[in-house]
Amino acid sequence: MKAHTEYLVFNTVKKIEFVRITGQVENAVKKSGVKEGLVLVNPMHITAAVIVNDNESGLIQDYQDVLERLVPYRAKYRHNVGEDNAAAHIWRQLMGHQVVLPITKGELDLGAWEQVFYCEFDGQRNKRVLIKVIGE
Amino acid sequence: MKAHTEYLVFNTVKKIEFVRITGQVENAVKKSGVKEGLVLVNPMHITAAVIVNDNESGLIQDYQDVLERLVPYRAKYRHNVGEDNAAAHIWRQLMGHQVVLPITKGELDLGAWEQVFYCEFDGQRNKRVLIKVIGE
Amino acid sequence: MKAHTEYLVFNTVKKIEFVRITGQVENAVKKSGVKEGLVLVNPMHITAAVIVNDNESGLIQDYQDVLERLVPYRAKYRHNVGEDNAAAHIWRQLMGHQVVLPITKGELDLGAWEQVFYCEFDGQRNKRVLIKVIGE
């Protein structure tokens, strides 16, 4: 079995931002030399998510509109004593916080429109994402 | 390490439909010959989800009622310019888009009521689900 | 490849309860002898979730407040004929039902604030969580 680990760092310009990282995950898979296996893409901070969805700017705004409507960013939360990011913690759960992707014949085995995104919900500071490839 | 990959194709009668696929995942595990490992079940389209929950028709309707109430299928979305499926993209995130299941002693190691479902949110066309088994 | 499987049992005092289980997952990783790999933590019951988030009591109450507001526990559901736990089934989907965690150099490779929680949404009875470690 082979294993390969990478840590990406993001420091987004905006507090809330969606960053496409499919290419970085593909690069990690290439470097791993794994032909058949799985790759986990997991944010190491708990106010961010990694998702797979469409690279379409309208939809990316729709996500934020829905999250804001269901769990308003600036509402009152018990967590927000000294902190101000409770909604970011909750948004990342609603969006699904991590993904595991398949590797077939040495490539990420994704459908035509599957794109990997880092979803930052409390940015403007260094935050890490772990990529772990295992397989053979 | 062994690996085994299958692609299922679904073309549902209805736009929104829940299809139980536990048996198909079990078959893939059997074919793989893996005794101890993991199996990823991942929709290759971004308006569908794979979940684990109860095979109970009332609950399956409850899911759709809740999703429709939180994120109405026919509301206005920025994505719906030329498209009409923004809500399907969002529903699949709220439901959790994929699952990874354990294999023990050559069998899917599920609890008594854990059933795997393909959740189609924009159907009536061919859509693929990838099953990737790895282990030994 | 090595594999190691454990079954945890929880019987919570309250119907709804968040139990921190990071230590139990770390112990399973230690026992497995795996240095590089993945660990799946999956509830075997479909009215519970396993998540990664903050060990902060205010936030844990915030999650319950948000879930109650979006999907009231005592509302009418089609599933609740003979049963009374439809909301628990739905909450576990909204929270993301399972996690896969990375193992690096023999340790759970988590960020500083990543803590694993068992989220019980229909407790006061024995319920199982499966931990499956694979790697080398």
pLDDT tens string A87-108: 999 999 999 999 999 999 999 9
DSSP 3-state assignment of C113? coil
Mean pLDDT lowest among A80-89, B102-111, C106-115: A80-89
Q: Measured between CB atoms, which of C37, C102, C134 is closest to A42?
A: C102
Point out the least confidently predicted range of A25-34, A57-66, A123-132, C74-83.
Answer: C74-83
3-state SS of chain A?
A: CEEEEEEEEECCCCCCEEEECHHHHHHHHHHHCCCCEEEEEEECCCCEEEEEECCCHHHHHHHHHHHHHHCCCCCCCCCCCCCCCHHHHHHHHHCCCCEEEEEECCEECCCCCCEEEEEECCCCCCEEEEEEEEEC
Q: pLDDT value at position B104?
A: 98
In this complex, is the C-beta atom of C93 within 8 Å of any C-beta atom belonging to chain A? no
Range of the domain at C6: 2-135
Q: Least CB-CB distance to A89: which of C54, C96, C110?
A: C54
| pLDDT of res. C100 | 98
pLDDT of residue C82: 84
pLDDT at position C35 over 90: yes
Closest Cα in chain C, distance from residue A113 (Å): 22
- CATH number for the domain spanning C100: value is 2.60.120.460
Beta strands in chain C (DSSP E): 2-10, 17-20, 37-43, 48-53, 99-104, 107-108, 115-120, 127-135
Of B36, B58, B111, the CB nearest to C79: B58
Say whether C58 and A71 touch across the interface (CB within 8 A): no
Q: What is the pLDDT of residues B38-69, one digit of tens each?
A: 999 999 999 999 999 999 999 999 999 999 99
Chain B residue at shortest CA distance from A36: B3
What's the pLDDT score for residue A99?
98
For chain A, the domain total comes to 1
Residue A117, pLDDT score: 98
Residue A82's pLDDT is what? 84
Partners of residue C130 in chain B, C-beta under 8 Å: 102, 109
Cβ neighbours of B3 in C, within 8 Å: none
Q: What token pair was written down for C130? A: 């499966």
Taking the CA of residue C108 and the nearest CA in chain A, the distance in Å comes to 12
- Which amino acid is located at B32 in the chain? S
**C132: nearest CB among B38, B51, B94:** B38
Residue C59 has pLDDT above 90, yes or no: yes
Task: Report the pLDDT value the prediction gives residue C32, as an integer from 0 to 100.
Answer: 98
Which residues are CB-neighbours of A81 under 8 A, at least 6 positions away? C58
Tell me: the pLDDT tens digits for A15-29? Answer: 999 999 999 999 999
% chain C with pLDDT above 70: 100
- Cβ of A104 and B5 within 8 Å? yes
- The answer to ipTM > 0.90 is yes
Nearest to A102 among B45, B92, B132 (CB): B132
Average pLDDT value for residue range A111-116: 98
Cα distance between the two ends of chain B: 5
**Paired tokens of C39:** 């660990």
Mutate to test the interface with A, among C2, C22, C34, C36 (most CBs of A within 10 A): C36
Q: Do B78 and A58 touch (CB under 8 A)?
A: yes
Tokens of C2: 């090595």
Mean pLDDT of C26-46: 98
Confidence of residue B82 (pLDDT cuts 50, 70, 90): confident
Q: Token pair of A110, please? A: 């994704």
Rounded CA-CA distance C47/C90 in Å is: 8
B49 and chain A: CB distance < 8 Å anywhere?
A: no
What integer pLDDT is reported at residue C86 of this predicted model? 98
- Cβ of B89 and A62 within 8 Å? yes
The pLDDT value recorded for residue B75 is 96
Q: Which residues of A touch B134 (CB under 8 A)?
A: 36-38, 134-135
Chain C residues with CB-CB distance to B63 below 8 A: 90, 93
Decide if B66 touches A, using CB distance below 8 A.
Answer: no
Two structure tokens written together for B106:
């050559």
**Cα A131 from chain centroid?**
10
Q: Which residues from B are below 8 Å from A63, CB to CB?
A: 90, 93
**Mean pLDDT value across residues A109-125:** 98
Tell if the CB–CB gap between B90 and A36 is shorter than 8 Å: no
Strand order in the sheet with B115-120: B17-20, B115-120, B48-53
Does B27 contact A at CB distance below 8 Å?
no
Whether this prediction's pTM lies above 0.95 is answered by: yes
Tell me the angle at which helices A86-94 and C57-70 cross, rounded to the nearest 10 degrees.
50
Token digits of residue C6: 């454990």
Counting one residue from chain A and one from chain C, the pairs whose CB atoms sit within 8 A come to: 93
Chains meeting C at 3+ CB pairs closer than 8 A?
A, B
